[in-house]
Structure 1
Amino acid sequence: MFNKVTHVLFDLDGLLIDSENYYTEAFSNVCAKYGKEFTWEVKATLLGFQNRECAEKIVQTLDLPITTDEFLTQCQEQYEILFPKVELMPGAKTLVEHLHNCGIPIALATSSSEDSVQLKMAKHQKFLSYFHHLVMGSSDPEVTKGKPDPAIFLVCASRFPDKPEPEKCLVFEDALNGVKAARAANMQVVIVPDPRVDKNLLQNATLILESLEDFKPELFGLPPYNQCACK
């Protein structure tokens, strides 16, 4: 049993939706134009960062003969083709619907921009409607720094009407930078990492899962799946 929580914050990419594979495909396609390979070793250093930060790191690391803005423009062309295909991750719909139906305040805290989220979630609008609010770091003026800075989670928590204390918030993440950000915000954090991530790097996470399907809400004082007092 962990500390009881009252509010839940979710990352999006790689946690609730399977978009990480499409990001990889988009980055790989652009890099390949210049004879460069976008490897897992490069990708592992980017997880959890905002879009521009990722682009800057890729251009610099792979020594691409283009600017960050040019890289972003070429990636956007890829996104418009790939992102509408995005599906929900296993267990995402069940967990989010359960918390919503039980009256647990939930919100989205993603490093993606508003345009990116709408593109990826075009066919998942009902799913998005379950969240009290969405904080999209790359386009939100209040999110002054990206993960691993705690800003996005602190801003997200502050937008609930009852403004819960950080200790009462549980974060769901898939990336190391997300874990660092949540812990810096003094929040508990459940991580569902890419299986290639070194588990030794995730020791600060409150709980490590292989899938959202494995999560037991009652561990954090939330209503269990089989006895929800729905509102």
Structure 2
Amino acid sequence: MSSYKPVTHVIFDMDGLLLDTERLYTEVTQRICDDFGKQFTWEIKVKLMGKKETDAARITIDELGLPLTVEEYLKRTQEEQKRIFPLVQILPGVEKLLKHLHKHNIPMAIASGSSREKYNWKTVNYQEVFSVFKHVVLSTDDPDVKNSKPAPDCFLVAAKRFPENPKPAKVLVFEDAPNGVLSGFNAGMQVVWIPDLRADKSELKDKATLILNSMEEFKPELFGLPPYDS
């Protein structure tokens, strides 16, 4: 417990952490791959998680040898995502934690590789839940985010936009993706990692501050945040 340091601000990734969108991303991508007899594997997917959309598209095309341009690929994915993203489910423990931190006036933000348009599709049915965030940094559209995760850009930008401008050491990051864990670590922040069941936890055990199976397991008091009411 002594390895955890008190924080004043919290930044969350979104896809696969707050919302079950990573599963939907996989479904959409595999449908495109099916047209070309390709298999979208976990080994490829893990390279994309947290990336800007254009970067993720380019990696997918290159890894699988798809006969598509980035623009063609994104157009095909967008049509399907617009239909299914509004149906996404919020993940276990998320609403409880967000409401708790908001109640205790802990400043929160989102730092995601998503675009504004897709963020709106994903959150359309969760307006109240997402209203607790002070701001949202969406790497695909944000000119201040020069590099995708695992570069620290998105988390550093998100931290600087808090009026208090907290030092990185005072910021706690929540992530599901290995790229995101590295991004938070590279930003000098503590990182709570809630990985996909297929992830190799051993490869980032020295980068993640805490590894959990679900948001439901998180104990705010470990990081100097107000504990849940008993």
Q: Same fold (TM over 0.5)?
A: yes
TM-score normalised by length of structure 1: 0.96
Deviations 1:61-100 (A, max 9, x none): 1111111110010000110111011111000000011001
Residue 210 (str. 1) matches residue 213 (str. 2)? yes
Choose from 103, 107, 110 the match for 1:108: 110
Shift of 1:180: 0.8
Shift of 1:140: 0.5
Tell me the residue number matched to 1:164.
Answer: 166
Give the Cα separation in 2 of the matches to 1:201 and 1:43: 16
Give the Cα separation in 2 of the matches to 1:93 and 1:15: 12
The residue matched to 2:172 in structure 1 has which SS?
Answer: strand
User: Aligned pair count?
Assistant: 227
Tell me the residue number matched to 1:138.
Answer: 140
What is the percent sequence identity of the aligned residues?
Answer: 48
Amino acid at match of 1:215: F
The residue matched to 2:109 in structure 1 has which SS?
Answer: strand
Shift of 1:36: 1.5
Tell me the residue number matched to 1:77.
Answer: 79
The residue matched to 1:152 in structure 2 has which SS?
Answer: helix
Gaps of 5+ in 2: none
Deviations 1:34-72 (A, max 9, x none): 221212222122222121111101111111111111001
Tell me the residue number matched to 2:224.
Answer: 221
Q: CA RMSD in A?
A: 0.9
Tell me the residue number matched to 2:125.
Answer: 123
Residue 92 (str. 1) matches residue 97 (str. 2)? no
Give the Cα separation in 1 of the matches to 2:46 and 2:13: 17
TM-score normalised by length of structure 2: 0.97
Q: Give matches, 1:20-39, under 5 Å.
A: 20-39=22-41
Q: Give matches, 1:22-61, under 5 Å.
A: 22-61=24-63
Preserved contact between residue 219 and residue 227 of structure 2 (Cα < 8 Å): yes
Tell me the residue number matched to 2:70.
Answer: 68
Q: Once superposed, which parts of structure 1, at least 4 consecutive aligned residues long, lie more than 3 Å away?
A: none
Give the Cα separation in 2 of the matches to 1:48 and 1:135: 12
The residue matched to 1:44 in structure 2 has which SS?
Answer: helix
Amino acid at match of 2:62: Q
Give the Cα separation in 2 of the matches to 1:202 and 1:195: 14
Give the Cα separation in 1 of the matches to 2:145 and 2:213: 29
The residue matched to 1:109 in structure 2 has which SS?
Answer: strand
The residue matched to 1:143 in structure 2 has which SS?
Answer: coil
